[in-house]
């Protein structure tokens, strides 16, 4: 019972922080404001989290839990090639976002407000830390199996993931403007094609081979657009 109460209180603090971070901005939200909103003592907050930064890290972990769970399932499948695992992981992440469209579009609108630049940066950094290990393992499998030609799998994973973060900023801007200008889909497609090409070269695939890691159908589902040729 005590453990259940502990977990419930911790989840309440995280959910409240998420709401306040999104509404007010990370920098403008104080620990005192979180405490007052939850209705707990200052000591209770610090029993669960040593700082606001630690709370943010826990929030990111919570938000990414569904994606990370699917990634572990992919990694544990011994019958799947490394190339297929990478494709399944990134396409699976896109499918999850498409199936949670309202949450994702609201999150984009919040994250790309000017007063949430620091929050977005920290979320990206924590996301990189969480996913770098699993992606490195997939690349190592590909190297061992002769699928990839990579000298440093860990460095390769870092550049692939940072490529997603960098391209993600540009693509997020397009996504947020897409409802007013559907023609921006062509520009979004170009970003996707260049990113897929860059990742394929980082993995040492033949020049004529491009690893298709974006699910276009899921992307159009996220945008509520009909499938286009």
For residue range 35-91, what is the model confidence (pLDDT) as tens digits?
999 999 999 999 999 998 889 878 877 877 777 777 778 888 888 999 999 988 888
Of 50, 70, 85, the residue that ends a domain is: 50
| CB-CB contact of 119 with 53 (8 Å) | no
Confidence of residue 227 (pLDDT cuts 50, 70, 90): very low
Residue 217 has pLDDT above 50, yes or no: yes
Instruction: Report yes or no on 228 lying in a domain.
Output: no
Residue 138 has pLDDT above 90, yes or no: yes
What share of the chain in percent tops pLDDT 90? 34
16: containing domain: 1-50
Q: Of 229 and 139, which is predicted with more confidence?
A: 139
Residues 128 and 184 in one domain: yes
Residues 37 and 64 in one domain: no
Residue 127 has pLDDT above 90, yes or no: no
Residues 20 and 132 in one domain: no
For residue range 165-207, what is the model confidence (pLDDT) as tens digits?
888 777 777 777 777 777 787 888 888 888 899 999 999 999 8
The pTM of this model reads 0.73
The reported pLDDT for the residue numbered 229 is: 37
């Amino acid at each position: 019972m005590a453990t259940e109460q502990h977990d419930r209180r911790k989840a309440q603090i995280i959910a409240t922080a998420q709401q306040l971070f999104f509404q007010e901005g990370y920098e403008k939200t104080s620990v005192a404001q979180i405490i007052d909103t939850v209705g707990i003592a200052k000591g209770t907050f610090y029993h669960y989290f040593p700082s606001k930064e630690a709370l943010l890290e826990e929030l990111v972990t919570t938000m990414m839990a569904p994606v990370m769970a699917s990634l572990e399932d992919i990694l544990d499948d011994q019958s799947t090639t490394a190339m297929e695992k990478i494709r399944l992981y990134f396409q699976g992440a896109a499918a999850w976002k498409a199936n949670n469209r309202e949450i994702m579009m609201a999150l984009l609108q919040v994250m790309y407000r000017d007063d949430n630049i620091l929050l977005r940066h920290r979320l990206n950094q924590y996301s990189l830390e969480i996913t770098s290990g699993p992606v490195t393992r997939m690349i190592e499998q590909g190297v061992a199996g002769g699928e990839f030609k990579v000298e440093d799998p860990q460095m390769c994973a870092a550049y692939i993931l940072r490529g997603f973060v960098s391209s993600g900023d540009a693509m997020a801007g397009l996504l947020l403007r897409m409802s007013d200008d559907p023609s921006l889909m062509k520009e979004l497609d170009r970003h996707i094609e260049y990113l897929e090409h860059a990742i394929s070269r980082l993995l040492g695939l033949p020049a004529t081979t491009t690893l298709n890691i974006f699910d276009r159908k899921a992307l159009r589902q996220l945008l509520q657009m009909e499938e286009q040729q």
